[in-house]
């Protein structure tokens, strides 16, 4: 198992000057990031299929993992609500040991394959759901069992592992291989493997959200406006999309109740009812709605 190997390069590591230790770890972090490049195509294919399923249903995103991998998975999921307006009701965290495992070790939880199966069954997953399993080794019994059960339920399954020949990749529909190899500190997969996992999760979930129409150009149009900083950002977004000035964008945002998509249409000159109706008929896709509005204006 490559993630458990010992590199002879780091023999006597504890005797090295601290600056050399930190420099070596930094170099390996860069190398870990580079491993994701070979999986860009696989990540894109997974994002396309995931967005297709989620866009046609009330399907849920399910994150499965244990230890560091589980914590990184949860971190990815919780950011989707404020950034892209993804409903927390459409998120499930299947973490070995439960949510208590986020802040402390829950011994032997990762070896409980029955618990992995049970959380999938109790969640009543089906083909509308998308399940992402993360494990550096690719052998974690809890995660492997959960992904196997999820695939049997009809859910779309995506697996991230740093070992190519691993059970987790074998049982998933989309296998993402992050070949990070041995660690500077032998077996400490929170480092290189964790870095690659974080990058891959970012690419995957953000790709899904973009394909679901939650980004216009490069702007976060489903962002939750929950504080002053985000309100200022939302006003800037509305102004940039609509061509309105800041005061007009702010007024539109207030009239839209903080809904950036609706506010952009209002700032372009639509009535509130007309904008809401157009968004609904456009499947809540702002670009589709703007294209329809502009076509109407030209005719």
CB 156 within 8 A of CB 128: no
**Following DSSP, what letter does each residue of 165-180 receive, concatenated?**
S-HHHHHSSEEEE---
Round to whole Å and give the CA distance between 110 and 78. 22
Nearest to 101 by CA among 154, 146, 64: 64
What phi, psi does 160 have (nearest 5°)? Answer: -115, 125
Token pair 């996992």: residue = 197
Ramachandran assignment for 154, one of left (phi > 0), alpha (psi -120 to 50 degrees), beta (any other): left
Would you please indicate which residues are annotated as catalytic (active-site) residues? Answer: 79, 110
CB 196 within 8 A of CB 36: yes
CB 195 within 8 A of CB 29: yes
Round to whole Å and give the CA distance between 212 and 38. 24
Round to whole Å and give the CA distance between 250 and 244. 10
CB 132 within 8 A of CB 204: yes
């Amino acid at each position: 198992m490559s993630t458990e190997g010992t590199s002879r390069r780091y023999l006597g590591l504890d005797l090295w000057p601290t600056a050399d230790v930190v420099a070596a770890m930094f170099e390996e972090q860069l190398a870990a990031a580079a491993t994701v490049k070979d999986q860009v195509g696989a990540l894109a294919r997974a994002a396309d299929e995931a967005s297709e399923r989620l866009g046609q249903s009330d399907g849920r995103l399910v994150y499965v993992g244990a230890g560091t991998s589980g914590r990184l998975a949860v971190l990815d999921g919780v950011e989707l609500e404020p950034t892209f307006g993804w409903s927390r009701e459409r998120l499930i965290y299947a973490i070995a040991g439960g949510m208590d495992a986020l802040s402390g070790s829950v011994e032997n939880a990762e070896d409980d394959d029955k618990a992995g199966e049970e959380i999938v069954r109790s969640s009543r997953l089906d083909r509308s759901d998308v399940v992402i399993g993360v494990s550096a080794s690719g052998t974690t019994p809890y995660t492997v069992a959960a992904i196997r059960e999820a695939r049997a339920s009809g859910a779309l399954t995506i697996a991230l592992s740093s070992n190519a020949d691993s059970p987790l990749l074998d049982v998933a529909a989309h296998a993402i291989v992050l070949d990070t190899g041995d660690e500077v500190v032998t077996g400490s997969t929170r480092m290189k493997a964790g870095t690659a996992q974080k990058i891959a999760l970012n690419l995957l979930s953000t790709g899904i959200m973009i394909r679901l129409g939650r980004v216009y150009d490069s702007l976060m149009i489903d962002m939750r406006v929950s504080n002053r900083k985000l309100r200022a950002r939302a006003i800037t977004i509305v102004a940039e999309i609509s061509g309105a000035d800041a005061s007009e964008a702010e007024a539109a945002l207030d009239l839209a109740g903080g809904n950036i998509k609706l506010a952009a249409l209002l700032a372009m000159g639509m009535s509130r009812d007309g904008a809401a109706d157009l968004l609904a008929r456009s499947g809540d896709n702002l670009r589709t709605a703007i294209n329809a509005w502009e076509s109407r204006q030209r005719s």
